[in-house]
Chains A and B, each alone.
Chain A
């Protein structure tokens, strides 16, 4: 099974939010009561009922005035996903497509994935006491369908396909953009399975991490301390066994002056 890539080409995006709606529709997510804050960005951030959110940023472009830029925010589907590493119940898993799936039934609502995700994707829902996030429409992938957001995109900004195929698409598009496109997602966390082509430097997009990575604390915990928590007591247990066999138990009777240990 070839890995899949979902490409968001922001140079083709008109910010129509068809993908945001299609995501809600396919995943049967209710609308939230939101607040008008003078931006098309609505709601303000991802939440348990919004797994895909279009971000709208206004950027000072110097002589060109102000630029209005868009970004599609949803799970990046990391190859080295911090959330999968940390999940204690096995609810978060890597799939054969390279995506990160979430089994709701297994989630215990520990919120560990919420704090380790470098993209702030998993959202804890106090009502269900579980976490929610985009699973790149796993049920659709299983039926050989593209994700709902890709299906809905009217401009071709969202594309989906086999990894090798998509790499070719990206290469061609990057060449066509003549250095004005910025590829985001291929250089960290083992490469993400959602990739961006952005018309501006990533630094201009609010909330987009510049150097996302698996937290050092998680590496220390899962790669070092976790195995040590069994190795250390195991080694000491073996040590006490050896001690008993070689040195033997302490004979407290030796401390009695009158018996000299033969009592």
Chain B
């Protein structure tokens, strides 16, 4: 069953991590929807429930403010596990595209997060920072050269061009692409098989350290 924790399941995410994931995800999705609602005339209807484009702009701008702590906490919380690469295994993994695109005999073992996830994490952090800086300059353009502000608009759009495809892949692999992943962001637990497949190095280390948390049914 989807959201039922089974006996023997392994704890992957803490409650804090789950809350942070949704804090980031919800602000992010709100920013994307409100942003697209302003960029495309054909999406202007997104503004209707807020009472018009002017309010949608306010929603976008203040959600942007709420996004800043989400991004900073994300960077701090997962930098060690997702922001640094484990060489040379991660390079080997990238060369084989993690076995997702063609049949691969032997894949190097991955830690808590695989290089694909790490790339997504770093993309979110750096594009997130780019969006915050460019967004705030666009919000308060007075006192800066017009050319700088004009390029901020182009950069802001560039950010979304790179971020959206990653988010699509993230949602695909987090749901139907790799069964067993979706429940994680709600329960924090998943099966041993999932761990052996997705984060064997991390699993082994936790077992060696004796810090692995296994659901016993109580």
Contacts and interface: CB of A to CB of B under 8 A. Distances in A.
Do the two chains bind?
A: yes
Interface of A: 86, 88-90, 106, 108-112, 114-116, 129, 215, 217-218, 220-221, 225-226, 228-230, 232-233, 235-237, 240, 243-244, 247, 249-256, 259, 263
A240 B138 CA distance: 34
- For the residues of A in contact with B, the DSSP-based class is helix
B76 interface: no
A232 B196 contact: no
Given A243-B177, A250-B177, A252-B193, 6 more contacts: A116-B146, A215-B150, A217-B154, A232-B162, A250-B179, A256-B193
6 contacts: A88-B41, A229-B157, A229-B161, A243-B101, A250-B179, A255-B197
Contact of A233 (B168, B176, B191): B168
B57 interface: yes
B100 interface: yes
A115 B179 CA distance: 49
B127 interface: no
B179 A252 contact: yes
Contact of A115 (B41, B141, B157): B141
A247 B101 contact: yes
B192 interface: yes
B115 to A, nearest CB: 16
Interface string B149-163: 111011001101110
Contacts of A109: 54
Interface in B129-177: 138, 141, 146-147, 149-151, 153-154, 157-158, 160-162, 164-165, 167-169, 172, 176-177
B180 A88 contact: no
Interface residues of B, number: 45
B167 A233 contact: yes
A115 B167 CA distance: 31
A237 B196 CA distance: 28
B187 interface: no
A208 to B, nearest CB: 16
B36 interface: yes
B178 interface: yes
B180 A244 contact: no
Nearest to A118: B146
B39 A229 contact: yes
A218 B169 CA distance: 29
Nearest to B160: A229
Contact of A221 (B52, B154, B191): B154
Given A232-B164, A247-B101, A253-B193, A240 B150 contact: no
B196 to A, nearest CB: 4
A109 B139 CA distance: 10
A228 B101 CA distance: 24
Contact of A236 (B54, B157, B168): B168
A108 to B, nearest CB: 4
Nearest to A259: B193
Contacts of A259: 193
A90 B43 CA distance: 12
A103 to B, nearest CB: 12
Contact of A240 (B53, B154, B168): B168
